[in-house]
Chains A and B, each alone.
Chain A
Amino acid sequence: MVVIFLTGTIRGVAMSTNTIDSVDVFLQGEKEPSGSWVFIVLGLVLSLSFLVLYSILYPGQDLPVISDLMPVFKGVFDSGIWFFILGTMIGIFAILGRLLLEATSE
């Protein structure tokens, strides 16, 4: 991406152009574009559709839990709550990691 700064006088005689080669610079806006909501809603609708499809294809069967996906955890992670607990642990460790990283960085 090329960012161009234009500096001119009223008469437009003196004008300089500075360019910055920002190949490695990642840019992200803070303002959320209104169009992005469409995709979030679409994602939600798709998720719900798959859940409905699951209940039609496998009637009466609960959603798989961690121990179904990884039998080594049989008898430990036998409930869906563990998805949520692990998610929270990731969040807590992200905060701890950030604290340690910032405290030890120069």
Chain B
Amino acid sequence: MSEGIIMDTILSTMFYFWITLFVAYFLMQRGLWIFSDVAKGTASFMLEKALGPGADLVEGRPGAGARSWIMQGALWMIFASMFTFTSMWLTHDPDALHSLASWGYSANADELASAGVYATLYGTVSMFIIGCSFHIIPKLAGTELASETNANLVSFVWTISVLMLIIGSQNNNILGIDIIPLGIALNNVLLLAVIMNQLLTVANKTRNIAMPGWLILIALLSSPIIAIVSIVSGAADDNVGQWLTYHIFGGTFFFAGVAGIALYASSIASGNPLWSKTLVGVTLIGSIFTINPFGDVDGQMVMDAFGPLVDNNVTSFTNQDMLSASFLMALVSIPVLAFSSNMLVTMRGSDMFVDDPDASGNAELNLGSWLIIPIVIGSLFVQTDTVSGTNELLGISNSISVMAGWLVLVPLSLGAALSLYPELVGRHLFSPNRARWGFWMMTGGAIFGLSITMIADFMDIALTELSVEDPSSLSEELRKVGSVMFYGVVIGSILHALNMVTGMFRGDIISKKSVRNSSISVESYALVSPTTIRRILSSGADLDTEVIPTGENDEKGSATKL
């Protein structure tokens, strides 16, 4: 393939992606002219009536959809951490699970790592993003979710699709059928149902949607758009295009999605108004126009996902590719810094108080906002090293990719889910103490476990460069310690999931007074009784908010004339 064509793969794919996304945004703002009502009616019919008896399987009460997605996301977190832990263990002890061979299953570290990635990204993070979005978008649009029943039902089928991906990661070909492409296809069909539900909700909006809502909507829309663009433009047919597709998907669906729910939750958890609308805009634009360096150094997942639809024409990055890819990746520091600073200042507040510093989810949101900067810098080094063909840091790519998952994406999405939990469930978490323990176990396990594993990676890189044939026993010992420490993440996941499940039944019932509203778009504040300025500010009012006294009438009443 000529150099010019390869260059086109990166720039033309991104160009088509931007144009399609812009058209989608334009249509969302302007509607479909005379077809709008027909489209609304058809979508509404497809979301509920077309499901037939399936719709009767689940409840359609307000908040049921979001609750269902978030609870299943919490349960997937246990399996995601367990798969990752097991793969880390098998790296230094490949025969640890040999006894399972008698059941016909031979455990393999790489395959289990792949299962861990699918369970983390599609099971945990995606379910938290979509679950939170089912609560956030209607709130910001000032309306109800178009179909709670559909949202609830789709969550269970999504779980089945994640299960298919995990089975496919262990054995992709069963009875001649490729399982991973099938799971991805089902996943995308379900995502279309989610998008239709959200677009129908947006169509009924009663006010302008605040910026975090757009981050979420763009994140949801970007997934099918990049899939179609990648296949139609032929980008998915070579390694450069697969790498690009993987990172555009990660930068828009995961980064923008997580940023949207985390920014909304930062205001909810702290009781402070969102610091800067401009920085949210920068985060949104940056997530679309830059290449996010989080994740793998190759596009293997894209090739697995598209299956028979793509070829595997191996090509390497040309000089022009390196230039454009490195430039667009370096630019990612702009949206990341904008997001991180906005989160941290919002959570700290402008007047040095936080409404409830012990609120669940605060700690996770803080952690993710801090760690996103060093991890994105580390990922940038690794990806640039790969793009340039140096491949000196290839050995640590897996550790830093897992770090991005467990120290950025999972904490931010889990923090957002925990912050919204009381309003969705109507009860507080069962035990704040258990939530605290869950946080420390997850954080300690991920930071120490993965850092120690990364040290072992560096040792192996150094030994390989020196051409030492005898493997280092110290490196192996470090991997053992790293995997055992990572088990803290499994315990933390179990504590969080148990806390959330028990809280549904036995958590303290929240009073109306304690329900916190988003402070993102408060334009007026109804003053019904004497209150403090602190409480008014905590509810999201700022200096431009109009305070409207709603006084009681002391005039003597009289009989109503009929």
Listed in ascending order, the chain A residues whose CB lies under 8 Å from chain B are 30-32, 75-81, 84-85, 87-88, 91-92, 94-95, 98-99, 102
Contact = CB atoms under 8 A, between A and B. Distances in A.
Interface of B: 75, 78, 82, 85-86, 89, 93, 95-99, 431-433, 436, 484, 487, 490-491, 494, 497-498, 501-502, 504-506
3 A-B pairs closest in CB distance: A91-B494, A79-B96, A102-B505
Contacts of B85: 84
Contacts of A77: 99
Given A92-B494, A98-B501, A32 B436 contact: yes
B509 to A, nearest CB: 15
Nearest to B494: A91
B430 to A, nearest CB: 10
Contact of A81 (B86, B432, B433, B497): B86
Main secondary structure of the interface of B (DSSP, over half): helix
B497 A95 contact: yes
Given A32-B433, A92-B494, A95-B497, A81 B505 contact: no
Contact of B93 (A79, A85, A88, A98): A79
Nearest to A77: B99
B93 A91 contact: no
A81 B498 CA distance: 23
A93 B433 CA distance: 21
Given A32-B436, A88-B78, A98-B501, A81 B494 contact: no
B98 A78 contact: yes
Contacts of A88: 78, 82, 490, 494
30 contacts: A30-B433, A31-B433, A75-B99, A76-B99, A77-B99, A78-B98, A78-B99, A79-B97, A81-B86, A81-B89, A81-B93, A84-B85, A84-B484, A85-B82, A85-B86, A88-B82, A88-B490, A88-B494, A91-B490, A91-B491, A91-B494, A92-B78, A92-B494, A94-B498, A95-B75, A95-B494, A95-B501, A98-B505, A102-B505, A102-B506
Given A30-B432, A31-B433, A98-B505, 18 more contacts: A30-B433, A76-B99, A79-B97, A81-B96, A84-B85, A84-B487, A85-B82, A87-B490, A87-B491, A88-B494, A91-B490, A91-B491, A92-B494, A94-B494, A95-B78, A95-B494, A98-B498, A99-B501
